[in-house]
Structure 1
């Protein structure tokens, strides 16, 4: 299976916080998951911890390399820049990643949030999301019990899968009509 590509300075184990969540499910493909993940404006429709997505420079609906955007999550107003965007293909997993930042000085939080969406044998899809964080807020998040990053990202995965299943069912219903 494939792994996340980490930019310099964000390798897990060398940052203040790291969260990793993964689900492998049947009945969906990377291509069915991708539109819900690659279009940030859709995130709030299936993940309640994401809000107020705004694209800078009239971008969107799909993220793309170097695109700047804004969203709110975990109580942070996050400015972000997509630094990896590769849709899934027959031979490669889909990859999306962004650098996000919020605050200044002691309240500064810097993150690298990456996703990998990969078709597996036997009709399965693997969705992996990992995030590294730097700064004082990252230390506080790492020490919080229960862990808000692990729990929040698990909710994101579950919501993404549920939304993809609903979209697939709706499209199958449209085909039979």
Structure 2
């Protein structure tokens, strides 16, 4: 029997308690967590495989490689660039999944305020497989509006990100 790892959630973003939550996952053969990890933490590659991200910048020193605590901003889902900072970063290693999460915010009036935690888990599985899990928990009126849309654009957008990530790692 194989047990899979899970995202570690701060209480504020606990799934089921926020205005929107999505979870996407792929498990594929022929890739390693290391191969995938490069395209996930190197933001200079994002726009080459995911068309729902733009205007990636690093207001302080650093980038384009994400690091623990680094601040960056990016546009997505039609929002103005969101201010983000990496809250967890652990590269994958033998028997240890890669973990990446960032908190992104859009300040403003209630109709504009958005507070999200986007988390990733990348792990090697037996049989030459890799598992990529991405989950996002969102707080705010824009998040509630996204959750009410059918199909949920976050669910579809994150699936496109996963599919693009796998394609990029296979090249």
The answer to whether TM tops 0.5 is: yes
Tell me the equivalent position of 2:164. 159
Aligned: 1:98 with 2:118: no
Distance 1:80 1:151 in 2: 22
How far has the Cα of 1:40 moved from its partner? 1.7
Aligned: 1:138 with 2:140: no
2:13 alignment partner, SS class: coil
Tell me the equivalent position of 1:128. 133
Q: Which has the larger radius of gyration?
A: 1
The correspondence of residues 60-75 of structure 1 with structure 2, limited to 5 A, is 60-75=63-78
Tell me the equivalent position of 1:43. 46
Tell me the equivalent position of 2:92. 88
How far has the Cα of 1:58 moved from its partner? 2.3
Q: CA RMSD in A?
A: 0.8
Q: Which runs of 5+ in 2 are unaligned?
A: none
Q: Is the 1:51–1:73 Cα contact (8 Å) retained in structure 2?
A: yes
Q: Is the 1:19–1:130 Cα contact (8 Å) retained in structure 2?
A: yes
Report runs of 4+ in structure 1 exceeding 6 Å deviation.
Answer: none
Distance 2:71 2:44 in 1: 13
Distance 1:42 1:9 in 2: 30
How far has the Cα of 1:62 moved from its partner? 1.6
Distance 1:105 1:41 in 2: 32
How far has the Cα of 1:132 moved from its partner? 0.2
Distance 1:72 1:161 in 2: 22
